[in-house]
Chain A
């Protein structure tokens, strides 16, 4: 028998790029948090919000039952971790707070196509085909994978879903999970939500790139911060290759993310540190 589903709306983000509280952003006169909680209610037995310790008592959030992060500074994965441990018998319908295009039909599809034997049921992004961890059902048995992922020093839920026993669904409404990170996207989305308007652009993320040896000489720098719409190291290298006139071809290189080897197609997360490794010559 499958576990009952509770809802978890993530509100613990620091919204560094937006520079204001995403939960309070309004679309059609309603704060995003209120919208998300109303949208999720018909599909779950109970709903909760995920919050940081220092958000307890904040007025807008005080209206809902909260689950406080146990481990600080892990972002969305910290919220999911806290919920899985707080109520180990239930599955969690996890929802980011920045999905203004999300509709009930999409949640309906997620519930209907849920696979309780997987660790997570999630949609494939219509943008890059990778799993979307923040509109997904996390089963009770996901707790082991989450704990192991955190113990391994990673807090990127997208990367976790690229590896585990995950059920991936195709979105019937391909724009349903477009998200909002920067103030510019927020304004574009507000226009989009008016009848007949088009969906906004996909977001850009900030990454740190370090260069070594031949690539440092070619790039003329040893590191830089890059704001990019690239979602994989492969896409990122193509952009940097053109920008800096890098002469090494991707098939000559290896990739490291956050100081360990990684796949060329691993999803990039904001804040990742990326290195392209020229052919080595130690010894």
Chain B
């Protein structure tokens, strides 16, 4: 199975962790991104993730290959949710196992940062007041702000 994947249902973290088990690895680092109830001062009720999967899988696999090479770590896994999510749910999970903790931490940080910047995934927030909007798109379109602001809940 590919090291970068999507899931339309909640994921079983024990299963993902088991995939990274390796007797030669003494360090494991993971990052979990959770759905937050507040973004830019507005109360968020729920959100939807949408992906351009054909390209996202390709770019996600490239990021993981880069991280493996750059930090010389043997095992990396990243799962991103798509579809409708509630507050508190896990939106993205990155796990890395390596002989030592330092490269595991660094590779994990690299993967989540690159995924947020490069992989074609979009998030639509539904607010308490009934309004909704695509994150990073609505305001930019309205007031001609720069395109690449990467504000998000899991920062």
| A interface residues with partner B (beta carbon < 8 Å) | 210, 212-214, 217, 247-249, 251-253, 256, 259-261, 275, 277-283
Contact = CB atoms under 8 A, between A and B. Distances in A.
Contact of B120 (A212, A248, A251): A212
Contacts of A212: 50, 52, 120, 122
A279 B52 contact: no
Interface residues of B, number: 38
Interface stretch (B15-23, B66-74, B110-118): B110-118
Interface in B33-80: 33, 49-52, 54-55, 58-59, 80
Which applies to chain B's interface (DSSP): helix, strand, loop or mixed? mixed
18 contacts: A212-B52, A213-B134, A214-B134, A214-B141, A247-B142, A248-B137, A256-B52, A256-B120, A259-B55, A260-B55, A277-B52, A279-B136, A279-B137, A279-B149, A280-B121, A281-B136, A281-B152, A283-B116
Nearest to B123: A281
Contacts of B144: 249
Contacts, number: 92
Q: Which 3 pairs from chain A and chain B are nearest by CB?
A: A282-B121, A213-B122, A283-B116
B140 A283 contact: no
B50 to A, nearest CB: 6
B141 A283 contact: no
Nearest to B140: A252
B138 A277 contact: no
Contacts of B147: 251-253, 279
Contacts of B55: 256, 259-261, 275, 277
A122 B107 CA distance: 46
Nearest to B47: A281
A279 B141 CA distance: 11
